[in-house]
């Protein structure tokens, strides 16, 4: 299971409260491991109970009161252990490909608009990644940390590039299908 480790990583990078983590999961970390605020609060509770993190001393705990966490040595050790441990790739699920396959047997009626919508979303995401690359990884920034982080971003860029290309191609094929309406 990966959510606790995603949180530990985020907290090692910078101690944060639940809401700050939620926001960071909406970008950055969330690009390849999403989580809702409820998952995050629940997990923070568990991680604290296990002695992997603790609340920053300064703040007094009260409901509706900001509560920041930092990673303890045990948490860092657990993160290192998990990172080094061998793991099988998890089976991969993609609704759009499934729908394409269904469309092959029940007809393509209606799916085309959604392909266009997905194409727009992936183009937007790609542009966002390229923006981040320009901002955070100018030439010359190449400490070990920077290189690893750049590699991760590169994976995001390549995946979005794949989707835009594949969707473009799919839409071209659709245009050539018999019975297709040409505007």
Partner DNA sequence: CCAGGTTGTGCAACTAGTTGCATAAATGTC
Partner DNA sequence: GACATTTATGCAACTAGTTGCACAACCTGG
* Residue nearer to a second copy on the CB measure, 63 or 92: 92
Instruction: Indicate the residue among 66 and 124 with the shorter CB distance to a second copy.
Output: 124
Given DNA, a second copy, none, residue 49, with its beta carbon under 5 to 8 Å by kind, binds none
Return the closest-CA partner of residue 76 out of 164, 148, 9.
9
5, 24, 67, 122: which one contacts DNA (CB under 7 A)? 67
Measure Cα distances from 44 to 11, 17, 21, 74, 179 in Å: 10, 9, 10, 15, 55
Q: Which of 9, 30, 42, 150 is the binder for DNA (CB under 7 A)? A: 42
Reported as type and span, the H/E element at residue 46 is helix 37-49
| Nearest CA-CA partner of 31 in 147, 101, 133 | 133
How many residues touch DNA under the rule CB under 7 A: the total is 27
In the complex, the residues that contact DNA under the rule CB under 7 A are 1-3, 17-20, 34-39, 41-42, 44-45, 61-68, 91, 93
């Amino acid at each position: 299971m990966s959510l606790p480790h995603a949180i530990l990583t985020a907290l090692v990078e910078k101690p944060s409260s639940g809401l700050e983590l939620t926001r960071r999961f909406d970008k950055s970390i969330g690009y390849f491991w999403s989580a809702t605020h409820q998952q995050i609060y629940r997990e923070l509770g568990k991680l604290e109970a296990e002695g992997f993190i603790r609340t920053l001393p300064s703040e007094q705990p009260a409901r509706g009161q900001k509560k920041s966490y930092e990673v303890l040595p045990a948490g860092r050790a657990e993160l290192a252990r998990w990172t080094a441990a061998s793991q099988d790739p998890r089976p991969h699920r993609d609704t759009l490909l499934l729908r394409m396959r269904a469309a092959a047997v029940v007809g393509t009626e209606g799916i085309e608009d959604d392909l266009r919508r997905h194409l727009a979303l992936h183009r937007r995401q790609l542009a966002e990644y390229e923006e981040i690359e320009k901002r955070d990884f100018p030439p010359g920034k190449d400490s070990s940390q920077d290189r690893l982080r750049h590699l991760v971003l590169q994976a995001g860029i390549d995946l979005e590039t794949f989707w835009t290309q594949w969707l473009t191609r799919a839409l071209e094929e659709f245009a050539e299908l018999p019975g297709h309406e040409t505007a």
